[in-house]
Structure 1
Amino acid sequence: MIRPCRLLLSALLALLATASVHAGEVTIYRCTDAKGQLALRDTPCRAGEKQEARTMVRPTDPPPRAIPAPAPAAKESYGPAPRYVVVTPPQPLYECITPDGERYTSDTSEGHVRWEESWMFGYPALPRRGGGGGVSATMDARSGNVSGSVRIGDSNHFRRPVLVPAIPYGQYLYDECNRLPQAEVCGRLRDERHELNRRWNIAQPSERADIDRETRGIDARLANDCGES
């Protein structure tokens, strides 16, 4: 009899677990028939059965668990946006010297170009002398003139002196230039800006636009290369 009671109790507990979830009390009936069989039910016993009633609290489901809201994603902090500064290296300035000793400034190291003929370096260009006839000549290396005579055939009676121009052989040469120190460059630029301001005061209205353009270029170069505003 103990084992059936345990089974009935387990069934009752399962019944209570699946019952309605409304709050309140519930009455459990313990019924014993004439043969001694025990039954548990939630309704009164049948006629002829021994009945025992017990009042119990109706089980209820726990309140639903609150689902926590997801935590907001942490914002990544990158700090202030980086600043990129482009630094232009100072533009070089060169001082050049002409063969006559005149000095001037140039933005390149080549300076002014000039043509020099070969006779200035002591290299004469002589016409070719033929066998039975042709031209023979000599040259004055200082003047570049070629003097000689023309011979036709084998006879010497047709020989006469002529003046033959020198053949224009030469080469292009550049003035010698040397790079100035940066401090000297800034000084030259200040002098040039001062000269432009002086010219502007006495220039015609039509010339002042060109002077203003040159002055803006000097100011930009002084700001970048010399740190002057």
Structure 2
Amino acid sequence: MDRGFPIACLSAAFAVAALHAPRAQADEVTIYRCTDARGNTTLRDTPCAKGQQQETRSMVRPKDAPNRVVDTAPEPRQQPAPPPTRTIVLAPPQPMYECRMPDGNTYTSDSPEGNPRWVPLWTLGYPAVSDGYYRPGGTRIVRHGDGTVDVNVDGGGYVHGPVPTIAGYGGGTWVRDECHMLPPSETCARLRDRREEIGNRFFNAQPTEREQLNREQRGIDARLDNDCGGH
């Protein structure tokens, strides 16, 4: 670099020249150093005025470094957190039983044991003694496989043979109605039928009965949800 062109001045001149340089000569810039009669020096991008001492310097305009291309991989898309695991515990289906009464009518029950009822022993085939052989508190009847009985009467010993008539009734016993389990599909159908009956009856029921019907319907709804896959 010539001493006549100070670095600071050249930088300023270069900046000015770069703005005014023709487009075709964008890569080369000419700097003019002009000195007038008084010794004042100026730097410009055009030729000096008449009567001024002129010096020129050609410079290559520096180029900006190319833009740095940063290959940034897209951030992985954050997957939403999975919903919390819900654990639902279902109770085993509750069976329903149909029970038959002696008159042929039926009813449903949640227990395999039907309703109890008291019946005389003779209705179950047990023998009864006639008046001639009966002694209160002292009669003992032994029934044999051939259909005969031994009757032990107080003071009279055993009387062996078939009992000819039924003149007296002995004791009785409790028996239960016979029940059998319904298949699951029939159980669900009957639960829905009962719920419909409750709905039809509810509006005409008394307040106390409505409370009972509400409790029963809540139990049916819960059972349908657990055993029958919903209402």
The TM-score normalised by the length of structure 1 is 0.48
The TM-score normalised by the length of structure 2 is 0.48
